[in-house]
Amino acid sequence: MEIKAYTLPTCNYCVSLKELFRRANVEYTEVMVKKDLTVEDFQKEYPGVGVFPFVVIDQKPIGGLVETIRLFLDEGLITAPNK
């Protein structure tokens, strides 16, 4: 599984996403928008996307943190906390 995470330098959701990856024990490549990639280049690649973090798995756009959590739950990479 090839995971690419587009993040912003001051994004708290991006920090949470990286914690999710750590807990799921998956490797990923982080691309920091505004540092490694311009916003314009990101928007050319993914037009209409305005949320960060933005996750792409195996070249398929997944979405933000919530969508990634849902996918990881469905795939059994993480489990939901007990209530």
- What domains lie within the chain, and their CATH numbers? 3-75 (3.40.30.10)
pLDDT band at 82 (very low <50, low <70, confident <90, very high): confident
The stretch 48-65 carries a mean pLDDT of 94
Contact (CB, 8 A) for 62 and 56: yes
Q: What is the pLDDT of residue 83?
A: 62
Q: What is the pLDDT of residue 81?
A: 78
What end-to-end distance do the CA atoms of the chain give, in Å?
30
pTM tops 0.85, yes or no: yes
- What's the pLDDT tens digit per position in 1-43? 899 999 998 899 999 999 999 999 999 999 999 899 998 999 9
